[in-house]
Structure 1
Amino acid sequence: MLDDLARQHERLNTALESTPTEIWRNQYHPDLSPIGWHYAHCHFIEAVWLRERILGHAPPRTRDWHDLYFPELSPKWRRGGRLPALDRLIPWGRELQFRHRDWLARHAGILDHPLMANEYLTGFLAQHHAMHLETLAQVRWFARLRGPDPALSEPHLQAPEITSQSWLEWDAVHATVGGDDVLVFDNEKGVHGKELAPFAIRRDPVTNGEWQAFMQEAGYHRPELWSREGWDWRKAHDIQAPLGWRGSGTDIGLQVLPEGMVQRNADAPVVGISRFEAEAFARWAGARLPHEHEWEHAQREGSLRGTGRVWEWCGNPFAPYPGFRPFPYDEYSAPWFDGRHYVLRGGSDWSDPLLKRPSMRNFFTPEKRHVFAGVRLARTMEP
């Protein structure tokens, strides 16, 4: 776990040090904080857990730390201007990284704490940082989307990917879902059984080429394919294509990704779609979104292909598993069991391997397009 944490530390350092100085304080999307804030927040959270909650130390300067780096105390739009200078932030972060890893390796007051059983807290912090690093990729994406279109760069061309439209089918089945590994979060904890009706699920995610066909058949302009809420959202925001697409019609076109402008590969999984769009596509294709339990069963038993390329929207809202208990703090999952957040599974090209286990549950409201999401189709089978 310490090796995993050290790897995330170095990824954080690289992410900030490679960010152009003119953008590290900027907010490019209402849901996304500046890159520098994410860097500082990750180190602040380590300090809170280790210094304050385990060792019982008082915060050194509450106003500078808690009022800025606790998300609930600091509106996103205010964060960039309150950050320390970059030449102070990076040395501060590296100093805390060294100190915290040393404490996690040898400090008796920390190692004897119940949260350190099986290195739980070390793994929790590593995953926390991995999630923020994926968010940093989303910030870079919007920084590119807000700027002039960059020139197409040869090194960023996507390699072809062979896919098919084959399906995996199950009769009614007793599925086992959830996880008991030390890394699992509270919302995925607890292995339990679920009875699933007969279903089929696509072996591969929906591709750019398939999405192009949806657009050519006026999928964005046919209200019968959309939920009422989704259609109102599409019209209000004039949504015409996945986030970052350049060109449409019969032209395969280009797309902007966090790394820059790329040629859009027809066989690559579509990315940058909301759940509203995923649902409309599924209706157009004569299918539906999979329930997350169908997805997890198929991933464990049927070798889904293409997982970990895009987060895949599921059909069900984010809800607690039987016996759910908040851990290690009340606010990680429980506030989002509100019927408005929906589950995504699988991980993306910008997710760390720590976050790509079969039981991992991501969750967002259905209009979000910046979360590196795509879709895999499912169908209900006749019993």
Structure 2
Amino acid sequence: MQSILSSQTDLLKNYRSIRAQTQHLCDPLEIEDFVVQPVMDVSPLKWHLGHTTWFFETFVLKPNMEGYKEFHPKYPLLFNSYYISAGDRWSRENRGQLTRPTVKEVFEYRAYVDEHMDRFLKEVEVDEELGRVIVLGCNHEQQHQELFLYDIKRILGDNPLCPPYIENKRSVKKVEVKTNWLSVKEGVYEVGYEGDGFHFDNEEGKHKVFLHEYQIASGLVTNGDFLEFIQAGGYRDHMLWLSEAWDWVNENKVSAPRYWSQEDGGEWWHYTLNGFEKIDLDDPLCHVSYYEADAFARWKGCRLPTEQEWEVACKMYSPNVLSSANFVEDNEFRTIQTGDFDFFGNVWEWTSSPYTAYPYYNPPKGALGEYNGKFMVNQMVLRGGSFGTPRNHIRPTYRNFFHPHLRWMFSGIRLAKHI
């Protein structure tokens, strides 16, 4: 366990801190906000609270704490997500049908498991293998903290009242950003995680890739950049779109990024977690699908970077998370102008790479082996984190992934091109 955290005391401190952050994200909400499921991709917020608690109960307490009594015999059915090896699951699309357990009961479940985790980590010597499971559970909860924000934005953003999740005054500072091209020479590079710190199994193993010479944009595509695409008829030009993407545009009548709206043919506005706001053209673009990102890149005469190109450029030009990067701890809850390369924070960046296994990929045995590998089909990789990501959760090798039509997450665009 020394390779992950310096001591068992740090393990407990980290656990408490992450669980407290989840509570912090809940504090602005009303009780009614926790129970809604507008579409299958969105889970009721109380389900996130129960599921992340179920993880620690199932994989830490039940198999390792002598005399531990399960909080409720039916909760494993309700709060298991996709771990077939861990037992039966309530169907995802029906999570919003359940008024019980109540939100109060779910918080009682969290308190019960927290109490036992606290006692367990104080009284039981944790070996390295179990320590890794606990650290995985903490990182798993951090992932759900971000999903929690995606889902509450979808729940509130589709409400005609456009209620804010939280009301933070917008940063008045304007940063002059001039995007240019960062060059990477042809050569053999190493990608993938190597080291002793925490990482997900899909980041393994470190391997060599050959890259042709390319350039990657020094900044993210802005709202103003994408508005030019809209005004130029980008959503109506079938030549810019992949066939499947063109079907998606027409079937769903897509004409702007998620949460954008135009007031009587005039100014553009969008819903943010801070409420309904006028779009700042200089802010990084958010809430576009892979389909839209790819079409925009074609319109610009460019392309999306591969995930290998993104990682190599990030390590070359901005390997460390900068203090100016926009993460969830900054409490902006929207994209902002940072003045740096924005490889980390603000928005997850679509790449042109399908989500597949690296060479030497070897998922763990048992239920935790289902964490990543089973999703390596029909999804695209995103890199870099967002304004909803915890700052200590991101690294250059982190591989996020979503289906190409989705855009309720905090997703944006960085361009690349051949030389």
Normalised by the length of structure 2, the TM-score is 0.83
Question: Which residue in the other structure is 2:322 paired with?
Answer: none
Q: Give, in angstroms, the shift of residue 292 of structure 1.
A: 0.4
The aligned length equals 375
Tell me if 1:369 matches 2:399. no
- 2:7 is matched with none
2:294 to 260, 279, 287: 279
The residue identity in structure 2 corresponding to 1:227 is L
**What displacement does 1:158 show?**
4.9
SS of the residue 1:187 aligns to? helix
**1:186-241 deviation line (CA, Å, top 9, x unaligned):** 00022222111101000101011101111110111100000001000010000110
Q: C-alpha deviations, 1:71-91, integer Å up to 9, x for none?
A: 241123432415422333223
Cα distance, 1:252 vs. partner?
5.1
Q: Which residue among 378, 381, 384 is the counterpart of 1:343?
A: 381
Summarize the Cα distance change of 1:71–1:269 in structure 2 as closer, same or farther, 3 Å threshold. same
Distance 2:255 2:34 in 1: 30
Say which SS state the counterpart of residue 7 (structure 1) adopts: helix
What residue number does 2:334 align with?
Answer: none
Is residue 334 of structure 1 aligned with residue 360 of structure 2? no
Distance 2:171 2:269 in 1: 11
CA distance in 1, matches of 2:239, 2:342: 30
Q: Which residue of 1 aligns with 2:140?
A: 128
Q: What is the SS of the residue equivalent to 1:50?
A: helix
Give distance in 1, aligned partners of 2:235 and 2:277.
23
1:319 aligned partner, one-letter code: T
2:258–2:407 contact (8 Å) kept in structure 1 = yes
User: Which one-letter code corresponds to 1:101 in the other structure?
Assistant: D
Match of 2:253 among 238, 256, 277: 238
State the SS of the aligned residue for 1:330.
Answer: helix
CA–CA separation in structure 2 for the residues paired with 1:50 and 1:155 = 38
* 1:220 alignment partner in structure 2: 235
Deviations along 1:249-301, one digit per CA (max 9) or x if unpaired, are 98552211233222322111100000000000000001001000110111111
Q: Tell me the distance in 1 between the aligned counterparts of 2:140 and 2:151.
A: 17
C-alpha RMSD over aligned residues: 2.3
Contact 1:141–1:259 (CA under 8 A) maintained in structure 2:
no
- Is residue 306 of structure 1 aligned with residue 342 of structure 2? yes
Q: Report how far residue 183 of structure 1 moved.
A: 1.3
| CA distance 1:319–1:54, change in 2 (3 Å) | farther
Whole-angstrom CA distance in 1 between matches of 2:206 and 2:267: 44
Partner amino acid for 2:369? D
Q: Cα–Cα, structure 1 residues 256 and 210, in superposed 2: closer, same or farther, change >3 Å?
A: same
Query: Match for 2:226 among 211, 215, 240?
Result: 211
Percent of paired sites with the same residue? 27
Query: Hey, what does 2:182 align to over in structure 1?
Result: 168
TM-score normalized with structure 1 length: 0.91
Q: Which runs of 5+ in 2 are unaligned?
A: 1-10, 83-88, 319-339
> Is residue 2:195 matched to residue 1:157?
no
In the alignment, what sits opposite 1:74? 90
Distance 1:178 1:53 in 2: 32
User: Aligned letter for 1:372?
Assistant: F
The change in CA–CA distance for 1:190 and 1:53 in structure 2 (over 3 A counts) is farther
CA distance in 2, matches of 1:271, 1:42: 27
Hey, what's the Cα distance between the residues in 1 that align with 2:300 and 2:265?
A: 19
Q: Deviations over 1:106-133 (max 9, x none)?
A: 412xx03x423xx422321111111111
Distance across 2 between alignment mates of 1:57 and 1:174: 54
* Deviating more after overlay: 119-128 vs 277-286: 119-128
Q: Does 1:2 align with 2:41?
A: no
The 5 Å alignment of 1:29-178 reads 29-55=39-65, 60=70, 63-72=73-82, 73-80=89-96, 81=98, 83-108=100-125, 111-112=126-127, 114-116=128-130, 119-150=131-162, 155-159=168-172, 160-178=174-192
Q: Which residue of 1 aligns with 2:4?
A: none
Q: CA deviation at 1:151?
A: 7.5
Query: Residues 5 and 151 from structure 1, CA distance in 2 versus in 1: closer, same or farther, beyond 3 angstroms?
Result: closer
**CA–CA separation in structure 2 for the residues paired with 1:86 and 1:62:** 15
Gaps of at least 5 residues in structure 1 are none
Contact 1:29 1:139 in 2 (8 A): no
Cα distance in 1 for partners of 2:270, 2:124 equals: 49
Does the aligned pair in 1 maintain the 2:56–2:134 contact within 8 Å?
no
Q: Distance in 1 between matches of 2:168 and 2:57?
A: 39
Deviation at 1:2, TM superposition (A): 3.3
The alpha-carbon distance between structure 1 residues 294 and 92, as it changes in their structure 2 partners (threshold 3 A), is same
Deviates most, 366-375 or 71-80: 71-80
Separation of aligned partners in 2, 1:58 and 1:323: 38
The 2-side partners of 1:331 and 1:251 are apart by 49
Change (3 A) 1:201 1:64: same
